[in-house]
Amino acid sequence: MPSTDTEAVKKSKRRVFLVAFISSTAVVILVLAALIVFFTMLSPISKSQTLIWRKILSLETISGSWKSSDGCVYEYPFELNGRTYLRYAWAESDDTELWLSFAKERNMSYYDLWLKRFVFLAEIYKAYYPVSDENGTQFGIKLRQDAPLSGDTVPFRIVSRKEFLAPKDIAGRNVSFFLAKGTDLIKEEGEFSFFSERFESMVSDGKEYRRYTDYWRLP
């Protein structure tokens, strides 16, 4: 008959083995779970890193509104008087000092100059706006009043924004000017030609533009 002490030792060893096996299995499961979570979190990053800049093939790729970090805007399609354009607006400029200086030169009040702004616009900016070429491309400037800053002696500040409208056919001949990364980021490359006797080509500075969806605040 086997010794009861020996049986007890064997049972004890089995329990120790089972406990050790279960513990090691639990550790392996936890490690695997941690790895799964890690790679799940990593995969979106890896996916975004694989996106590269590609030439666009049509204007439809840039349908919508796009805004750079410094406030410049592309918009396509832009409809005006039954025609379709690619609109580009430069960042706004605070021209208050320019207008104050001009008013002083002409011995006019700042407010009176604002009332007659369209009469003096070409003299103030030393350019005629709006202006168009033989293809229908238009360059213009928009003006608006802004709230005065603390310490200002003027009732309002004058802010301007220059922009151009390129007809669809002209814009379509410049699709190689745009690169896209994914669906929410574009940038310029090379030159945008207006095929114009009046306007020179616009040279890219490599600026990036992100899709802009707050249409109510589009400048």
Q: How does DSSP assign 11-29, residue by residue? A: HHHHHHHHHHHHHHHHHHH
Mean pLDDT, consecutive 10-residue stretches, the chain (219 aa), reads 53 53 59 62 52 94 96 96 97 97 97 97 95 97 96 95 97 97 95 96 95 65
Structure confidence at residue 1 (pLDDT): 47
Residue 9, CB-side half-sphere exposure with 13 Å CA sphere: 5
Sequence-distant (6+) residues with CB within 8 A of 183 are 211
Q: How far apart (Å, rounded) are the C-alpha atoms in residues 10 and 212?
A: 73
- Distance between CA atoms of residues 39 and 103, nearest Å: 65
Backbone angles phi, psi at 49, to 5 degrees: -70, -20
- Strands (E) located in 40-192: 54-55, 64-67, 73-80, 83-89, 93-94, 131-132, 138-146, 157-167, 178-181, 185-188, 191-192
Q: What is the pLDDT of residue 36?
A: 65
Task: Write down the pLDDT at residue 81.
Answer: 94
For the chain, the structural domain boundaries read 1-50, 54-217
